[in-house]
C-alpha cells in the first residue's frame, strides 16, 4: 500500500507539462544498486544467482508468449523480455490485487513514471531484463499495466511451487489458467447485468443507432474507433471507467479481450470491430453474444493510418456464441 501512495504522489507531479508520456517514451533503469525490498511475490535477485533464463515475448495483440510459467520456491530467474510490437509494452510482476490497483492508477494518471526491480518498460523492438527471486510460494501475475493494454487482457500467470512440491519447472499449460479465468468471469457476471434493447428499438428518432462504449479515459485508439463507428451511423455514449466489468457482464471470455467493450442492442462488440460488421450483425440478428476482435491488431479501425505506418496486419472478426465458442464472422487480409 505504501508503494501505491508513492505512485499517487508521483502521478500528481507527473501531470505537469514536463512529465514523461508513459505510452510513448522508454523508461531507462536507474543507475546504481537494485533496491531489494521483500514483496509478497518475492525479492529482487542477483544476476549471478540466476540459474535459469526465461524469455517472454510481448506483442501488439496484447498477449505475452508464453502466458504462463512455473518456478520453484527459492529459485532466482532472469527474465529476458522482448517487445516485438510497434508500441511500448511493459512486464510487471505482482499479485493480481496489486496489479489491479496499479492499473487503476494508470487509467487515472497515464503519464505517471514508475520504476521498480520487478518492472521492465520495453520500447518497440527493444529488450528488457529482470532478475527476480521467488522466495514465497503461490500464484502470481505478470502484466502490462499501460492503460488499455491491461484491460485488453495482457496478463500472464506465475505458479511458484513450494519447496519440495512436485513440478517440472517448465512453462505450464494455459488450460488451468483458462479454467480459473472462466470461474472468475462467472462470478463477475453474476454480480450484475446490462440492460439491453431489442434490435427493433436500436434506432433513435434521428435514425442513428445507439451504442454504449466502456473504455479507459486515456485510450487514444478507442477514441479513434469511436470516431469510426460514429461516421458510420452510430450515436455513441462513452463511459470512461475501463471495460473489464462491462466485458464480464456481457459474458465475453477474457481471451477475446481488447481495450474497449461496446453494447449495441442485445449484442456485445469487443475491440476494433469494423462498423460494417456491426451493421451486418444487427441485420442478420444471430443468437449470439456478439462480435470480437481480440487484442489490438494494427490495421483495424482505430489502429490504422499514418500513426501506424499505414501498415495492415491480417485479423479476423469473431462471432461469439453463448457457450463461449467462436467462429470467423469476417476476415481482413
pLDDT tops 60 at residue 329: yes
The grid cell for 27 is 523508461
Dump pLDDT digits (tens) for 287-328: 999 999 998 898 999 998 887 778 888 999 999 999 999 999
CA 192/CA 245 separation, integer angstroms = 9
Q: What is the mean pLDDT of the chain?
A: 80
Q: What is the pLDDT averaged over residues 196-209? A: 47
Whether the model pTM is above 0.95: no
Residues 6 or more apart in contact with residue 114 via CB below 8 angstroms: 7, 10, 102
Q: Is 325 exposed, middle or buried, given 0-12, 13-18 or 19+ CB atoms closer than 10 A? A: exposed
Can you give the residue ranges of every domain in the chain? 2-172, 199-332
Instruction: Answer for the pair 70, 93: CB distance below 8 angstroms, yes or no.
Output: no
CA 170/CA 68 separation, integer angstroms = 9
CA 38/CA 136 separation, integer angstroms = 10
Dump pLDDT digits (tens) for 28-76: 444 556 678 899 999 999 999 998 999 999 998 889 999 999 999 999 9
Taking domain 2-172, whether its CATH number is 2.60.40.420 is answered by yes
Dump pLDDT digits (tens) for 7-24: 444 433 333 333 333 444
The grid cell for 63 is 498477449
> Which DSSP helix (H) or strand (E) runs through 229?
helix 220-230
Bridging pattern class, strands 290-292 and 267-270: parallel
Cell 511475490 sits on residue: 41
Torsion angle (degrees, nearest 10) of CA 219, 330, 276, 248:
-40
CA 264/CA 268 separation, integer angstroms = 6
Residue positions counted in the chain: 333
- End-to-end, the C-alpha distance of the chain in Å comes to 47
Instruction: Answer for the pair 186, 178: CB distance below 8 angstroms, yes or no.
Output: no
Cell 521498480 sits on residue: 116
Instruction: Please give the pLDDT value at position 128.
Output: 95
Instruction: Answer for the pair 256, 270: CB distance below 8 angstroms, yes or no.
Output: yes
Amino acid at each position: 500500500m505504501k508503494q501505491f501512495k508513492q505512485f499517487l504522489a508521483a502521478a500528481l507531479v507527473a501531470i505537469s507539462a514536463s512529465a514523461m508520456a508513459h505510452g510513448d517514451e522508454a523508461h531507462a533503469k536507474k543507475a546504481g544498486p537494485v533496491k531489494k525490498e521483500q514483496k509478497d511475490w518475492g525479492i529482487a535477485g542477483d544476476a549471478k544467482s540466476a540459474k535459469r533464463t526465461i524469455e517472454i515475448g510481448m506483442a501488439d495483440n496484447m498477449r505475452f508468449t508464453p502466458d504462463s510459467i512455473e518456478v520453484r520456491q527459492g529459485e532466482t530467474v532472469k527474465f529476458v523480455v522482448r517487445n516485438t510490437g510497434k508500441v511500448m509494452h511493459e512486464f510487471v510482476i505482482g499479485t493480481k490485487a496489486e496489479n489491479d490497483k496499479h492499473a487503476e492508477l494508470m487509467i487515472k494518471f497515464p503519464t505517471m513514471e514508475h520504476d521498480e526491480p520487478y518492472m521492465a518498460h520495453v520500447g518497440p523492438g527493444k529488450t528488457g531484463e529482470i532478475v527476480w527471486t521467488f522466495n514465497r510460494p503461490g500464484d502470481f501475475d505478470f502484466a502490462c499495466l499501460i492503460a488499455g493494454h491491461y484491460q485488453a487482457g495482457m496478463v500472464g500467470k506465475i505458479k511458484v511451487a513450494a519447496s519440495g512440491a512436485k513440478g517440472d519447472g517448465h512453462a505450464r499449460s494455459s488450460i488451468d489458467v483458462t479454467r480459473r479465468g472462466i470461474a472468475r468471469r462467472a462470478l463477475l457476471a453474476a454480480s450484475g447485468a446490462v440492460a439491453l434493447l431489442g434490435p427493433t428499438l436500436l434506432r433513435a428518432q434521428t435514425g442513428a443507432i445507439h451504442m454504449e462504449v466502456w473504455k479507459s479515459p486515456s485510450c487514444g485508439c478507442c477514441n479513434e474507433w469511436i470516431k469510426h463507428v460514429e461516421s458510420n451511423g452510430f450515436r455513441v455514449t462513452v463511459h470512461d471507467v475501463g471495460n473489464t466489468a462491462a466485458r464480464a457482464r456481457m459474458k465475453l471470455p477474457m481471451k477475446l479481450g481488447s481495450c474497449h467493450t461496446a453494447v449495441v442492442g442485445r449484442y456485445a462488440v469487443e475491440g476494433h470491430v469494423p462498423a460494417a460488421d456491426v451493421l451486418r450483425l444487427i441485420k442478420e440478428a444471430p443468437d449470439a453474444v456478439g462480435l470480437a476482435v481480440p487484442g489490438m491488431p494494427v490495421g483495424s479501425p482505430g489502429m490504422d493510418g499514418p500513426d501506424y505506418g499505414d501498415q495492415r496486419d491480417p485479423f479476423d472478426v469473431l462471432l461469439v456464441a453463448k457457450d463461449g465458442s467462436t467462429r470467423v464472422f469476417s476476415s481482413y487480409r
